Amino acid sequence: MTKKTDTVVIGAGPGGYVAAIRAAQLGQKVTVVEAEHVGGVCLNVGCIPSKALITAGHRYQEAQHSDFLGLKTKEVELDFEKTQKWKNEKVVKTLTSGVAMLLKKNGVTTIDGRARFVGKNTLEIETKKGKEKLDFKHAIIATGSRPIEIPGFKFGGRVLDSTGGLNLKEIPKKFAIIGGGIVGSELGGAYANLGSEVTIIEGTPSILPNFEADIQQMVTKNFKKNGINVFTGAKAKSAVEKGDKVVVEFEAKGKTEKVEVDYVMVTVGRKPNTDDLGLDKAGVQLNERNLVKVDEQYRTTQKNIFAIGDIVPGLALAHKASYEAKIAAEVIAGKNVAKDYRAIPSICFTDPEIATVGYTLAEAKEQGIKAKSVNFPMQANGRALSLNATEGFVRLVFEKDTELVLGAQIVGVNASDLIAEVTLAIESFLTLEDIALTIHGHPTLSEMVMDATEVGLGLPIHM
């Protein structure tokens, strides 16, 4: 017997579960089909568990190095099994079970299985009990992405993808990472803080290639300080397991290098999960990068089918997927909405933390905008001093004539939270003066955003 639903959502990650809940709130009968875990990559093996390990690394370092506060610890031990148990049970399980509860509370039916289109209004779902059919009026595809595997580094054994890197049972004495982008740099820093000797092998001239040079240099400086070996402009060649070790061969500066480690993790990017979905049978077209073609309402080439998240063009970010989810669900409900954002924040939880939004100064000038930028240093902020976290700055980019806020690059403690104010400013077409005239609490890190606007206005108090 074929089941029926108004809207089916394929995938229950930050895009899928948000789409399902919003569609249900707007009166749709909704079914979610999830092949692995509710919460998707982000909650189970991505954003959330990685931040848990990063936090553990920070706490471990603080426990060992707080003499300056008058805190003396004789011996600090790390029980990594307990760390992983906390990460999996108290962090990941709490969030994913919460999402499952929210789906149920909103009347969403969840099917554990793998979905494939067999027509523009029908899915075939493979479950543990067998195959079943589901007819739908509308569909939202939110199947996410998976790690890219490169030649010479077949996943398995001591060659890990990011999922394997997050679920190690012991802290590697020596750990190699292929790829110095956001994921590689975050986890490289985390494991270094937990006690690993880390080697990062990056193909481009610098780690974190999507950030500005001075930001890259600050993270590189901290990596060196923490004993992380960084090879840039390098090409990974192979990984060969030898007992309980793996030998990684790569080329750097014209020389062949080898490093023997306990594990090697490959984090060179991700590819969209658009294969094996039967998209051709549903009339859904892909572009040359195997991403689903969508319009401003996230409608595919088949008008009753929508796509969001990592499988559509644009940044592969969880918060972008959640934004797109709400648009798609509201369009299906008959609302006249479409994509309408000016900027998306990007965050990297390295040491120091990085958060950016909108234009850099160079990007603004490339667009023909007469722009300026100003910096305010963390070391001039009272709260940063009291946190012993004075490394970094708040940089604002603004239009020279109107003082309209165009972008920001924030480096340092709690950058991930501070970027929200500037994102709102960009979305709301605010000027430097608008922020400067807003009273900020004291003592807080957020005062640095206000201080930066006063520098831009030529009226700095704390510089």
**Phi, psi of 457, rounded to the nearest 5 degrees:** -80, -5
Three-state DSSP class for residue 21: helix
The number of residues making up the chain comes to: 463
| CA pair distance 199, 176, nearest whole angstrom | 5
Peptide bond preceding 14 in cis form (omega within 30 of 0): no
Query: How far apart are alpha carbons 97 and 102 in whole angstroms?
Result: 9
Told to judge if 138 belongs to the known catalytic residues of this protein, a careful annotator would answer no
For the chain, the straight-line distance linking the first and the last C-alpha, in angstroms and rounded, comes to 72
Residue 378 sits at the vertex; the CA angle it makes with 373 and 382, to the nearest 5 degrees, is: 130
- CB distance 56 to 87 below 8 Å: yes
229's tokens: 């070996």
Phi, psi at residue 395, to the nearest 5°?
-115, 130
Distance CA 29, CA 25 (A): 10
Distance CA 2, CA 25 (A): 25
The residue with tokens 């969403």 is 108
Q: How far apart are CA 84 and CA 53, in angstroms?
A: 8
DSSP assignment of 26-67:
TT--EEEEESS-TTHHHHHHSHHHHHHHHHHHHHHHHHHS-G
The answer to whether 340 touches 352, Cβ cutoff 8 Å, is no
Between helix 182-193 and helix 213-225 the angle, nearest 10°, is: 30
Sheet strands (E) in 224-364? 229-231, 234-242, 245-252, 255-261, 263-266, 270-272, 305-307, 346-348, 354-358
Is residue 43 classed as helix, strand or coil in its secondary structure? Answer: helix
Tokens of 2: 């074929």
| Spatial separation of the C-alpha atoms in residues 355 and 396, rounded to whole Å | 12
> Both tokens of residue 345?
């924040």
What is the spatial distance between Cα 280 and Cα 290, in angstroms, rounded to a whole number?
A: 12
One-letter amino acid at 113 equals G
CB-based contact 419:355 (threshold 8 Å): yes
Catalytic option among 58, 440, 442, 462: 442
Residues designated catalytic? 442
